[in-house]
Amino acid sequence: MAKLVFGLMQSLDGYVDHMKLGPPPPALARHFVEHMRSLTGCIYGRRTYEIMRYWDDDQPEWDEEDHDFATVWRSKPKWVVSRSSTVVGPNATLVADDVEAVIARLRAEHTGEIDIAGPDLAHSLGNAGLIDEYRLYFHPVVLGHGTPFFAAPQPPLRLVASDFIGERERPADRSVKHRSCCRQRNSPFHNLSP
């Protein structure tokens, strides 16, 4: 059975605006290349998938790490959850109906880790009990507005690991859902078991 993980880079105040956050710095970019390489596949909401389609075609300004990420991303199976899209790109499957049943089947039929991308999608899959882990990658900026990482009230979480990647980012805070009820202590960004 695959593990479904929702993780995105976000601001310190919890917003996931990739246009305002900009590209990850080199150490975090390398982390994302290796992370993508380790995945079984990715499940995207429509808006996040449209952003990620950037990696479908080589760009003249890309460096070696950009090319590495694009190559790995293109090789992974992708499932795109959308009721409004009718066409998806290479190596992608459109999921328009019975979303929870399709995702539950993918989870049961695969092994390894499948990435969930898109706060609204994560909210609905979380409500259905289909997200096993949340990965919070903090970028040291405050945006003040945008799309929140948690699209609705936060599920009960337990901090299971916290790692620094690079000099400025605080990514890889991994919290597992439904293991224990939690409360926050001294920080709006980390959930600790009581």
Write out the chain's pLDDT in tens, 194 residues. 999 999 999 999 999 988 888 888 888 889 999 999 999 999 999 999 999 999 999 999 999 989 999 999 999 999 999 999 999 999 999 999 999 999 999 999 999 999 999 999 999 999 898 999 999 988 889 999 999 999 887 778 888 888 888 765 444 444 444 333 332 333 333 333 32
Q: Which pLDDT belongs to residue 152?
A: 80
Domain count, the chain: 1
How far, in Å, are 14, 102, 147, 168, 191 from residue 141 at the CA level? 10, 36, 15, 10, 20
Residue 35 structure tokens: 């992370």
Give residue 124's pLDDT: 92
The CATH number of the domain holding residue 160 is 3.40.430.10
Rounded to 5°, the CA angle 185-188-189 comes to 100
pLDDT score at 167: 64
Give dist(CA 91, CA 93) in Å, integer.
Answer: 7
SS3 139: strand
Domain extent, residue 39, equals: 3-192
Helix (H, G, I), strand (E, B) or coil at 151: coil
